[in-house]
Structure 1
């Protein structure tokens, strides 16, 4: 039984150049290796997002449902974020 499946893909020129550059640099031996590594990174990102949603977003929502009076309005949160971005930080 075959454990792989062949695909034919079309990429924009900038992505195709990136793939070829990765192979030319010696980082990868083939287009297939580049694609596999990219898909692994996508799977890791999806798993991290799913974990964040389950562990933090759901928990935060449950906390809000327990005591909605503790919620911070979205406009206040946005103002805090904007203030952080405009205030220089000490290093």
Structure 2
């Protein structure tokens, strides 16, 4: 790489710090969208006091019921509770 003004060679080594000042180029086509990490959906089941919130849990061992596991796979990102992708989570632990 050369300096355009002097035509002298310039040693160019970029670090992650150099990239901090560059604005992102992604443009969201939906002006009203919200990032997934900011969304905290809550479901209240009628006839039950159960209320669930996406809180980062991903595994069956972290659930307390089939209803909770089902809510998580339907509403929360990156869950690991439906190994065979049949829509039924935690079949050995909760949803027999």
TM-score category of the 2 structures, normalised to the smaller one: under 0.3
Please identify which structure carries the higher helix content: 1
- TM-score normalised by structure 2 residue count: 0.22
Which structure has the bigger radius of gyration? 2
- TM-score normalised by structure 1 residue count: 0.22
Please identify which structure carries the higher strand content: 2
